[in-house]
Structure 1
Amino acid sequence: MVSYPDSQGAERSLAIRRPPSVTSHSSRASTVRRHRPHRSHFGGSSYQPQNEFPVFTHTGDVEILISNGRKEQRYLLHKLILAQCSGFFEAGLSDEWATAGGSSAPNASSAALARVPHGALQEKKVWKYELDWGRDDELPMLIQKKAQPTLFGGDTAASQPPVLRNKPPAPQAGFFRSMANFSSLHVPTTPSDPDDDTFRDYDNLLRVFYNYPPALDPVNIANAYVECKSLLQIGDMYDALDVIGPRVDHHLLRFQGRLWKQIAKYPPSYLKLGYMARSKAIFSEAMVHVVGQWPQGMNQLRGQVAESVLELVEDKVDEMDELKAKVEVKLFRLTLTTSRGERVTPSNNWLEWMAISLFRQWLAENTTPPPAPILKSPRQPSRNGENAPLPPPPPFNTGRIFKLLGTGGSSYLGHDECKRFLKLSPEHYNRDNLKRFERRIEEIKNKAKDAVKPLMRNFLELDLREGGLPYLTCTRIDPQDFPWDE
């Protein structure tokens, strides 16, 4: 306490009072802190470097540069995350890979490091990748570049402006290619740039690594298929299907009924996609269609999918053929009995035996491939005036016949067919015999319907109430059948 002899009150005042400037400043600061609104740092700030996807300025140690001479996108990501998600990065960022190329020669940077006092510098190693576009017939691929550490972290290559190479324009994108949403790239894009798909695919790949949803079409399933297929292909290139596949599976399954309809239209394509994405739902749905239509999709799969997938298709086709053979034996053994319980024969009931014969003849004609023509195949005139051979007939598939047998009723051997057949024997044709003949035909149909029940099972998610399919859908894919679980 400071005391003055001339005033007792002044002593108390000086003992408790702060300087006016300090008091007023403290009061204003506390008021500002109480009433200052919350500041969001989403998207970075002009006062501090960005430290979020796609550029982690403070913690990133792997720089990825994608540039085509017209635009570029830079990522500064983490070695740990990239190595966990991708076998390509796990190998490229390993210590064995780094030492395999040999140590770099001393340079000005290392000389400067020697002059810095010990303990005053924390060296930060940064790996650098650039996209090499290759030739027109090659897929672009990330190539690791040498990166030299700087005094205060980062690398000298990253601090310099990237060299932009002019790349010849790529051919026009294929059918169903749509322009992707490049808002996640944080750079202005040119809609007509032929490399937009590549920028989108790499951005989606790295977004998935950081648990962000990929930018895929949520409305048009045809566009979504193309984008998902492209993303899976790049995921396969970088050994990252275990991470990419579930994202693609999740996105496509959101289309629900529309997805099942698309698979029914293009089963071989979705079988390949389902295998790459490790999607049990898509793979199973497509497999049922492929087996039911086989060998229609053979050319689209042979040489384009893993041998394990083709082996599974052929195994399921063999299983279905065996089941159809057992059912056919039962169908040809169907018969009728007389009122005494005897088997109908030509001697004890000619009319009813004729009904059995008609059914067997119809079954034989429709379940046996047509004989090969003896004469040369006819030719049709082409545009240039020459006669070109006719296209080969579609593969013979008995699925439609078994579907008719499973439906019964008037779907086959109806009233008109029975009438025409009975008129071939005028002595037996009359109204009463026609009615009795049709009743016995209907009895055989009911027995046939029971015999084909094992083939009428449906293991599709597709709603068949809107329209049936001309092939069997009784193929069942068990959990042990998936070729990626071996």
Structure 2
Amino acid sequence: MVSYPDQGAERSVAIRRPPSVTSHSSRASTVRRHRPHRSHFGGSSYQPQNEFPVFTHTGDVEIIIANGRKEQRYLLHKLIMTQCSGFFEAGLSDEWANAGEGGSALARVPPGAPQPQEKKRWKYELDWGRDDDIPMLVQKRTQASMFGGDALQQSPQQPPPPRNKPPTPQAGFFRSMANFSSLHIPAPQNDPDDDTFRDYDNLFRVFYNYPPALDPINIANAYVECKSLLQIADMYDALEVIGPRVDHHLLRFQGRLWKQIAKYPPSYLKLGYMARSKAIFSEAMVHVVGQWPQGTNQLRGLVPEPVLELIDDKVDELDELKAKVEVKLFRLTLTTSRGERVTPSNNWLEWMAVSLFRQWLAENTTPPPIPILKSPRQPSSRNGEAAPPPPPPPFNTGRIFRLLGQGGSTYLGHDECKRFLKLSPEHYNRENLKRFERRVEEIKNKAKDLVKPLMRNFLELDLREGGLPYLTCTKIDVEEFPWDDI
């Protein structure tokens, strides 16, 4: 993995061996840079220097990003680009360089003549495409001269990326949490393509071990910028390099990050998957499973199948655990002083306490029945026919189990016990009410012990500031992350 030194410290550019020999984490040597970094974003197209973003003396891959209003030029290294991006690894390969060429300059040198030293340079320009297209770098073929100069030729086609060009992202993708209406920040008059310039600059900065320029204060802005950077990294097959940087930046928000994930778990589940962030992905997965099927529409068809399979597996595991606990709860009972189970014949009052608990549990863990009669004021559709009723909200028993786990007066309190006992006036008096409440409290304490497996919390979010209405006992083991086998 590419190392990430702190800003201002000495930086190193890691150089790897060919992919067939080693992975991104293996590096053979480093190229040191001792001069401080100077930003040239939006500046002149040429800088007489040999440091990022223009390596005048050593760079061999020129990249031009221009939209007619401004231009950003990079002169980078083939070795770095190919080790960080599968797109450039394919486009800068010898197979691609020789494809379609009728012969190089060296092939026309007479036999026996001294071989001139050839300096090869590649060039890419950003093709903005049409309105609905995603901007994409296109290689311009250059013909190396015998004296180190380059003669630019238009390439009839762009280098084959490792995957097909992705479709335009759907409107709702990654945007469920980007609500900027509450920020009260006046919209600056910026170039509409500034985000694209920023994303490419961040992409190349990470390639060269510089921290990306991402918002360090506003987590909503940081999310949008990180999401955009991950999307472009996915286009150029560079998620393995970009993902850890995004993960590192977002984790710096600490508590604010966990709160944002709790608000928008499907969005952060997608981001955590793209960034290969185990912390973000796990946190979002606990929320998604606990609220399922609430986030179905935001995930199905928008995340890879292995992610959906993991969600389904974890939902099934949670349902099985709840079913086992429910069976034990319905079997809860009280015993007499002789150790016998209470019945209507041996202790009617205490048997009524057990009956009240079981009735409360049945009502709150069973979905409400569908009404048979239609509402008289049901709205009509355009053709005059009665419109179908809206589907009921998803039934989630997590809130009930949390009440059972808290115990005390959170349910079946004094007033409820009093109302219930008054239904049998012949048994209602102050002494019987106190006895009845003590026995209800006893069975509630037993229930509290039974639901402890469901009360486990695997979130980083601090729940002391307020509980959640769903269960958070889902745990993602290390071997279950859906990208380890990709």
| TM-score, structure 2 normalization | 0.80
Match for residue 229 of structure 1? 227
Match for residue 131 of structure 2? 136
Match for residue 27 of structure 1? none
Deviation of 1:150 (Å): 3.9
Deviation of 1:97 (Å): 1.2
Return the alpha-carbon distance in structure 2 between the equivalents of residues 369 and 224 of structure 1.
40
The yes-or-no answer on 1:358 pairing with 2:367 is no
Return the alpha-carbon distance in structure 2 between the equivalents of residues 316 and 378 of structure 1.
41
Return the alpha-carbon distance in structure 1 between the equivalents of residues 377 and 327 of structure 2.
39
The amino acid across from 1:458 in the alignment is: N
Please state whether the residue corresponding to 2:266 is helix, strand or coil.
Answer: helix
Return the alpha-carbon distance in structure 2 between the equivalents of residues 301 and 364 of structure 1.
32
Deviation of 1:145 (Å): 1.0
The amino acid across from 1:59 in the alignment is: T
Please state whether the residue corresponding to 1:65 is helix, strand or coil.
Answer: strand
Return the alpha-carbon distance in structure 2 between the equivalents of residues 467 and 44 of structure 1.
44
Distance verdict in 2 for CA 1:44–1:352, change over 3 Å: closer
Matches within 5 A, 1:364-383: 364-376=362-374
**Aligned 8 A contact 2:202 2:212 in 1:** yes
Please state whether the residue corresponding to 2:64 is helix, strand or coil.
Answer: strand
**Aligned 8 A contact 1:377 1:389 in 2:** no
Deviation of 1:292 (Å): 0.4
Aligned counterpart in structure 2 of residue 123 of structure 1, from 118, 135, 146 = 118
**Aligned 8 A contact 1:379 1:388 in 2:** no
**Aligned 8 A contact 1:66 1:72 in 2:** yes
Aligned counterpart in structure 1 of residue 338 of structure 2, from 337, 340, 364 = 340
Deviation of 1:244 (Å): 0.4
Matches within 5 A, 1:455-474: 455-474=454-473
Match for residue 101 of structure 1? 100
Match for residue 16 of structure 2? none
**Aligned 8 A contact 1:334 1:444 in 2:** yes
**Aligned 8 A contact 1:131 1:141 in 2:** yes
**Aligned 8 A contact 1:378 1:390 in 2:** no
Return the alpha-carbon distance in structure 2 between the equivalents of residues 44 and 259 of structure 1.
29
Instruction: Show CA shifts across 1:402-428 (max 9, x none).
Output: 000000000000111111111111111
Return the alpha-carbon distance in structure 2 between the equivalents of residues 414 and 103 of structure 1.
89
Aligned counterpart in structure 2 of residue 146 of structure 1, from 141, 144, 147 = 141
Distance verdict in 2 for CA 1:321–1:354, change over 3 Å: same
The amino acid across from 2:231 in the alignment is: Q
Distance verdict in 2 for CA 1:154–1:446, change over 3 Å: farther
**Aligned 8 A contact 1:267 1:287 in 2:** yes
Deviation of 1:389 (Å): 6.2
Matches within 5 A, 1:265-304: 265-304=263-302
**Aligned 8 A contact 1:127 1:147 in 2:** yes
**Aligned 8 A contact 1:130 1:145 in 2:** yes
The yes-or-no answer on 1:78 pairing with 2:91 is no
Deviation of 1:463 (Å): 0.3
Return the alpha-carbon distance in structure 2 between the equivalents of residues 332 and 56 of structure 1.
73
Match for residue 195 of structure 2? 197
- Gaps of at least 5 residues in structure 1 are 1-38, 159-170, 179-189
**Aligned 8 A contact 1:64 1:129 in 2:** yes
The yes-or-no answer on 1:217 pairing with 2:215 is yes
Return the alpha-carbon distance in structure 2 between the equivalents of residues 388 and 302 of structure 1.
27
Instruction: Show CA shifts across 1:189-245 (max 9, x none).
Output: x94211111110011011111111000000000000000001001111101100000
Distance verdict in 2 for CA 1:480–1:379, change over 3 Å: farther
Match for residue 320 of structure 2? 322
The amino acid across from 2:428 in the alignment is: Y
Q: Which has the higher helix share?
A: 1
Instruction: Show CA shifts across 1:145-169 (max 9, x none).
Output: 11122454242339xxxxxxxxxxx
Match for residue 395 of structure 2? 396
The amino acid across from 2:325 in the alignment is: V
Deviation of 1:288 (Å): 0.4
Please state whether the residue corresponding to 1:484 is helix, strand or coil.
Answer: coil
Match for residue 347 of structure 2? 349
Please state whether the residue corresponding to 2:367 is helix, strand or coil.
Answer: coil
Instruction: Show CA shifts across 1:361-389 (max 9, x none).
Output: 0000000011122133676669x9x9976
**Aligned 8 A contact 1:415 1:438 in 2:** yes
Match for residue 419 of structure 1? 418
Return the alpha-carbon distance in structure 1 between the equivalents of residues 254 and 376 of structure 2.
46
Return the alpha-carbon distance in structure 2 between the equivalents of residues 56 and 353 of structure 1.
85
Please state whether the residue corresponding to 2:225 is helix, strand or coil.
Answer: helix
- Gaps of at least 5 residues in structure 2 are 1-33, 154-170, 182-187
Please state whether the residue corresponding to 2:214 is helix, strand or coil.
Answer: coil
Match for residue 249 of structure 2? 251
Return the alpha-carbon distance in structure 1 between the equivalents of residues 144 and 99 of structure 2.
18
Distance verdict in 2 for CA 1:85–1:367, change over 3 Å: same
The amino acid across from 1:231 in the alignment is: L
Distance verdict in 2 for CA 1:438–1:41, change over 3 Å: closer
Match for residue 481 of structure 2? 482
Deviation of 1:40 (Å): 6.8
| TM-score, structure 1 normalization | 0.80
Instruction: Show CA shifts across 1:85-142 (max 9, x none).
Output: 0000001100111122223687xx999x99xx946x5331111111111121121111
CA RMSD of aligned residues (A): 3.0
Return the alpha-carbon distance in structure 2 between the equivalents of residues 379 and 393 of structure 1.
17
Q: Indicate the structure (1 or 2) with the bigger Cα radius of gyration.
A: 1
Return the alpha-carbon distance in structure 2 between the equivalents of residues 302 and 146 of structure 1.
41
Please state whether the residue corresponding to 1:295 is helix, strand or coil.
Answer: coil
**Aligned 8 A contact 1:377 1:390 in 2:** no
**Aligned 8 A contact 2:140 2:152 in 1:** no
Deviation of 1:321 (Å): 0.5
The amino acid across from 1:477 in the alignment is: I
Distance verdict in 2 for CA 1:470–1:177, change over 3 Å: closer
Matches within 5 A, 1:39-58: 43=38, 49-58=48-57
Match for residue 69 of structure 1? 68
Return the alpha-carbon distance in structure 2 between the equivalents of residues 230 and 103 of structure 1.
40
Deviation of 1:72 (Å): 1.0
Return the alpha-carbon distance in structure 1 between the equivalents of residues 149 and 286 of structure 2.
54
**Aligned 8 A contact 1:177 1:226 in 2:** no
